[in-house]
Amino acid sequence: MTQRLRVGIIGCGEIVQAVHRPVLSGLAGHFSIETCTDASGEAAELFAASTGARAVDNAISLIEDEATDVVLIAAPDPLHADYVIAACEADKKGVLLEKPLTMNARMAREVESRTRGSKTGVVVGYPHLFDPAVTQARRLWTAKDKVLFGEFRTILGPNDQFVQDVAEILRPATPLADIAPPPFPYWTAAGEIIGFDHANDLTIRAYNLLLRLNIHDLPVLRVLLGTPDAIPYASNFGPGGGGLCIAFRYGEGLVLLNTTFQGVREADWGFELRSREKTVAVRYPSTYAFTASSTCLLRGDGGGAVHEQRWCDSYVTGFRAEWLHLYDVVTGGAPSQSPVVEAVHDLELLEEILRVIAK
Amino acid sequence: MKTNESKQPGIAMIGSGFVAYLHLFGIRSAGLGKFTAIAAYTQEEANQRGRLFDAEPYSSARVDELLARPDIDLVIIGSPNKLHAEHAALAIAADKAILVEKPLVLAIEDAEQLCAAERNGARIGYAENHLFAPIMIKARALAAEGAVGRIRRVTGNFGNPAISSLNWHHAPAVAGGGVFVDLGAHIVPGCEFLAGDASIAEVTRAEMRFDSATGIDIEAKVAFRTESDVELITESMFGAAGPGCFYEIEGDAGVLTAHFMPDQELALKGSGSEPQAIAFPSQDDRSLAGRYTRSGYGPQIAHFVEAFASGRAPRLSAPYGRDTLRWLCAGYVAAATGRRVDRDTAMPEDCTPIECGKA
């Protein structure tokens, strides 16, 4: 008989309501949402009423609750480190931690050292890393493939429109007024990386884009190509510095990571890697599209002609795959494919990029 | 035993709210001092702030352990107002130099005790960032040079949006008052500073509007007269559309306007002429270092660190904090009685400012 894991959810905001709730509903044989909490008690009660979960006063109580087997940490980024450490110290069976692991590499190394050896299975939630198209790309692009040119593209339309398509978000009538304005933790962490002399509107914007958006791309880049040899160029562009262009050097090859936003409701999100012999490309659907498959494409020589193969029949999203993986980690003892130690390297790469931008 | 072997002074903070960020930013902007430890009400909050600030965390129950550390040279007292007296006394007993956030304490008798401690060798600084901001120093210098002719009136206006009902500023017993204690504490000394060398002689009139639910003042207009007969008008408000603060120095030959926040701008308007922008140090520095130089937090911590290290008396110390507290108390008395309040007016010495108005 399948073991059903009881999930406690920290943070009942948009990503949980629009993505994790439906994914968990679709995996009812594996998981049940048991408890939830939010900085806004009203938000927690609303979410509890919509799921049958029990609202708990605060995150630490939820973590310590015996009715919680695994914890989904979807609280604001500055709190991720505290809660993943607390969950490991409470010997929870598992944690799915929404990206990013934490705010910078120093904090990430602290999390790694505090959670090393823990019995808790931690999966850092990078849905693209678990996307079936990326899994296919990892089969097609092997360690011996030398990249000649590549491009990761993150060109996104208005996020709220994508969300509106799939979910009605329950919001508390009384918004929670933070004592500290939200940017302050981000200034603190970015300023620590590049120094207060170099932290300005543009570099902090770049930090926010890297930490909250491009952090999806960095682990995929690393599992396919490894750590880059150098970052010869990285810069903001566009109105308010809302775009990013980053160049990674791999041997003689170059890989770009381009990010920008547009008014058109289109998600042009994916990557293409070219070697002398082949091209492997992946395109993701919108984060919130549950029935649109990602695609993986392989182009190469086949008997004197260009041969193309396409995989686009998977309706398992990266989010569903990461939950299923967490289930295997907890119940089957599988090693986490997205462990804390790898997320430390992602944040170290993020810091290198930011330092180049600051120069 | 941790000792401070670096040349950077070790700085600790008691208090973990909004102002903790501002002092951290000041320290990082000034590029001197190591933010070593932080104490918060709960260990959980201390852990969170400590991790983000790269500082050792202590709960308020463990303040004595923090103060026992030999690697801490300066302790910033930024706890809720009611606790300033207790935390200042503990830090002085531990032979630490202290920098106390406004208001110095909540009762005049406690302020007198700190003045006595200072006379007995305690190293006490009073934090008023407005008085260290380059725009204020430039405006005062221009006014002193006669840029507006003979100074007639100085106005200070400070408004913040409504504060969260969870904030301790809503509790008169903890905060000691409402907007006049919170924001008036900045603009009363700010106006006095801009008016020149003469000190405040009396409160001439005061009007306050109180929130019926919490009992705190949410709007205060308090006028003063200096010894050189300059009128100071302070206007403070909770419930403004956004945070904003400006000062205006009116003389018989023109007006000097210093927009303090959110953006800073200094302009001189002579009689019958168009306003002329005046440059001031750090004006064009768009970095966080520039921002927190302009706010005064960077120069402020640099001043106190240097003063305490060299054994020189700081610009603002316990007597300055006591005098400011007396004028805050006097404002509430004037609002309640409709009468002028001068230095000789008897006021209860064991009451908070808002209680003085009711006594």
Q: Are residues A90 and A133 in the same domain?
A: no
Q: Are residues A48 and A163 in the same domain?
A: no
Facing A103 at nearest CB: one of B52, B164, B286: B52
Q: Are residues A286 and A142 in the same domain?
A: yes
Whether B278 has a pLDDT exceeding 70, the answer reads: yes
What is the domain range of residue A298? 129-316+347-358
Predicted local confidence at residue A313, as pLDDT: 74
Q: Would you say domain B10-102 falls under CATH 3.10.310.30?
A: no
Whether A269 has a pLDDT exceeding 60, the answer reads: yes
Q: Chain-wide mean pLDDT for chain A?
A: 93
CATH number at residue A114: 3.40.50.720
Q: Are residues A245 and A308 in the same domain?
A: yes
Whether A1 has a pLDDT exceeding 70, the answer reads: no
Whether A86 has a pLDDT exceeding 60, the answer reads: yes
Would you place residue A141 in the very low, low, confident or very high pLDDT band (cuts 50, 70, 90)? very high
Whether residue B52 and residue A191 make contact (CB cut-off 8 A), yes or no, is: no
Facing B288 at nearest CB: one of A110, A176, A199: A199
Min Cα separation B148/chain A (Å):
35
Q: Are residues A206 and A353 in the same domain?
A: yes
Whether A223 has a pLDDT exceeding 50, the answer reads: yes
Whether B110 has a pLDDT exceeding 50, the answer reads: yes
Predicted local confidence at residue A172, as pLDDT: 83
> What's the topology of domain B131-283+318-342?
Dihydrodipicolinate Reductase; domain 2 (3.30.360)
Average pLDDT (B224-231) is 98
Predicted local confidence at residue B1, as pLDDT: 46
Whether A287 has a pLDDT exceeding 90, the answer reads: no
Q: Are residues A120 and A231 in the same domain?
A: no
Predicted local confidence at residue B5, as pLDDT: 59
Interface with B, mutate which of A188, A193, A198, A347 (most B CBs under 10 A): A188
pTM of the model as a whole? 0.93
Q: Are residues A222 and A109 in the same domain?
A: no
Whether B311 has a pLDDT exceeding 70, the answer reads: yes
- Close Cβ partners of B318 (under 8 Å, ≥ 6 residues apart): B104, B111, B114, B115, B117, B118, B122, B124, B126
Average pLDDT (A14-35) is 94
Boundaries of every domain in chain B:
10-102, 131-283+318-342
Q: Are residues A266 and A326 in the same domain?
A: no
Whether A176 has a pLDDT exceeding 80, the answer reads: no
Min Cα separation B131/chain A (Å):
22
Predicted local confidence at residue A161, as pLDDT: 77
Predicted ipTM of the assembly: 0.91
Would you place residue A181 in the very low, low, confident or very high pLDDT band (cuts 50, 70, 90)? low
Structure tokens at B242: 């956004």
Whether B334 has a pLDDT exceeding 50, the answer reads: yes
Would you place residue A206 in the very low, low, confident or very high pLDDT band (cuts 50, 70, 90)? very high
Contact B205, B356 (CB under 8 A): no
Predicted local confidence at residue A177, as pLDDT: 57
What is the three-state SS of chain A? CCCCEEEEEECCCHHHHHHHHHHHHHCCCCEEEEEEECCCHHHHHHHHHHHCCEECCCHHHHHHCCCCCEEEECCCHHHHHHHHHHHHHCCCCEEEEECCCCCCHHHHHHHHHHHCCCCCEEEEECHHHHCHHHHHHHHHCCCCCCCCEEEEEEEECCHHHHHHHHCCCCCCCCCCCCCCCCHHHHHHHHHHHHCCCCCEHHHHHHHHHHHHCHHHHHHHHHHHHCCCCEEEEEEEECHHHCEEEEEEEECCEEEEEEEEECCCCCEEEEEEEECCCEEEEEEECCCCCCCCCCEEEEEEEECCEEEEEEECCCCCCHHHHHHHHHHHHHHHCCCCCCCHHHHHHHHHHHHHHHHHHHC
Q: Are residues A147 and A76 in the same domain?
A: no
Predicted local confidence at residue A183, as pLDDT: 87
Q: Are residues A89 and A216 in the same domain?
A: no
Please count the structural domains in chain A. 2
Q: Please give the interface size between A and B, counted as residue pairs whose CB atoms are below 8 Å apart.
A: 69
A-proximal residues of B, 187-206, CB under 8 Å: none
Facing A197 at nearest CB: one of B54, B163, B287: B287
Whether residue B53 and residue A107 make contact (CB cut-off 8 A), yes or no, is: no
Predicted local confidence at residue A291, as pLDDT: 66
**Residues of chain A with C-beta less than 8 angstroms from the C-beta of B166:** 177, 179
Q: Are residues A270 and A234 in the same domain?
A: yes
Min Cα separation B25/chain A (Å):
8
Give the range among A14-23, A227-236, B75-84 with minimum mean pLDDT. Answer: A14-23
Higher pLDDT, A158 or B327: B327
Predicted local confidence at residue B176, as pLDDT: 97
Whether residue A103 and residue B167 make contact (CB cut-off 8 A), yes or no, is: no
Tens digit of each residue's pLDDT (9 = 90 or more) over B122-176: 999 999 999 999 999 999 999 999 999 999 999 999 999 888 777 888 899 999 9
Q: Chain-wide mean pLDDT for chain B?
A: 95
Q: How far apart are CA B354 and CA B175, in angstroms?
A: 9
Whether A314 has a pLDDT exceeding 80, the answer reads: no
CATH number at residue A198: 3.30.360.10
Q: Are residues A170 and A279 in the same domain?
A: yes
Min Cα separation B128/chain A (Å):
19
B-proximal residues of A, 160-179, CB under 8 Å: 176-179
Interface membership of A211 toward B (CB under 8 Å): no
Whether B97 has a pLDDT exceeding 50, the answer reads: yes
Interface membership of A103 toward B (CB under 8 Å): yes
Beta bridge partners of A237: A243
A185 preceded by a cis bond (ω within 30 of 0): no
